Structure 1
Amino acid sequence: MPTSKIHALVHSKCPRCHVGNMFVGPAYGLRKQKTNDVCPVCNLTFEIEPGYFYAAMYVSYAMSVAEVVTFALATAVLTGSESPWTYMVVLFATIIIFSPFNFRYSRLVLLHYMTPKIVYDPKWELLEENKNKSDI
């Protein structure tokens, strides 16, 4: 059964095969965030051309703006505070806490939804399933 694009995105899977991991380690690990150079299953090169992930900065910026606006409004509604320090602490904490999430998911959104060159190919998923069945 083919994996949905949303499932592949949430679980940080390759946009072409939906099986291989795009990243090494968890999103909030203590080690540095690292994107695999190629998919371990279908050998898709994630950085399509040099500097390709610079476009992910714009996606990350949009995500950060949405998070900051959401938390600013939530802080205003929940606390009713007019102190700029309250907002600065909440918003800086929001930016720091969501940085690993934004790094990872901005690249995933860029590759899954904004790159027309990459299309899902279910044959890779079927090959991986058959390989796993033969290993048993």
Structure 2
Amino acid sequence: MVTEPEPVTGWTAIRKGLCPRCRRGAIFSRVWLWRLPQMFAYCPECGLRYEREQGYFLGAMYISYGLALITIAALSALLWASSSWSIERAIAIASLLFLPLVPLLVTASRVLWIHLDRRLDPGAD
């Protein structure tokens, strides 16, 4: 007996980087060790075009900026509270510690933007 796969929720699709329409196709390739993941132009499952127009990912830049500020602020507060460093030094070191997280943050912000935009304006394919 063949069973249908469990439906994927919106939050699971965001967490796994799946297409907002079919929730099966990946938005990014899965290569992290040798090179940065590449974003697909279309969903490999349903053919949804991810970039709706020129400059579409400007909104993702705002999300990325906000996530970066929150991450650096949290790292700075943690370093400042757990050491005798000045706040300036804690911010500088937190910024350096943040740099390896940038590729993850950029991919996450694009996935969040695609899902948010498709939720707010689903008809514009």
> Would you say 1:105 and 2:81 are equivalent positions?
no
The offset of 1:89, in angstroms, is 2.5
Alignment of 1:1-136 (within 5 A): 1-26=6-31, 28-82=32-86, 84-94=88-98, 96-115=99-118, 116-118=120-122
Structure 1: distance between partners of 2:36 and 2:75: 26
Structure 2: distance between partners of 1:99 and 1:110: 16
Code of the aligned partner of 1:78: S
Instruction: Return 5+ residue gaps in structure 2 as ranges.
Output: 1-5
Structure number with the bigger relative contact order (C-alpha 8 A, sep ≥ 6) is 1
Does the CA contact (< 8 Å) of 2:76 and 2:87 recur in 1?
no
User: Identical aligned pairs, as a percentage?
Assistant: 23
Does the CA contact (< 8 Å) of 1:37 and 1:46 recur in 2?
yes
SS of residue paired to 2:122: coil
TM-score normalised to structure 2 length? 0.83
User: Which shows bigger deviation, 81-90 or 46-55?
Assistant: 81-90
RMSD: 1.8
Does the CA contact (< 8 Å) of 2:64 and 2:106 recur in 1?
yes
TM-score normalised to structure 1 length? 0.77
Distance 1:7 1:82, change over 3 A: same
Q: How many positions carry a matched residue from both structures?
A: 117
The offset of 1:24, in angstroms, is 1.2
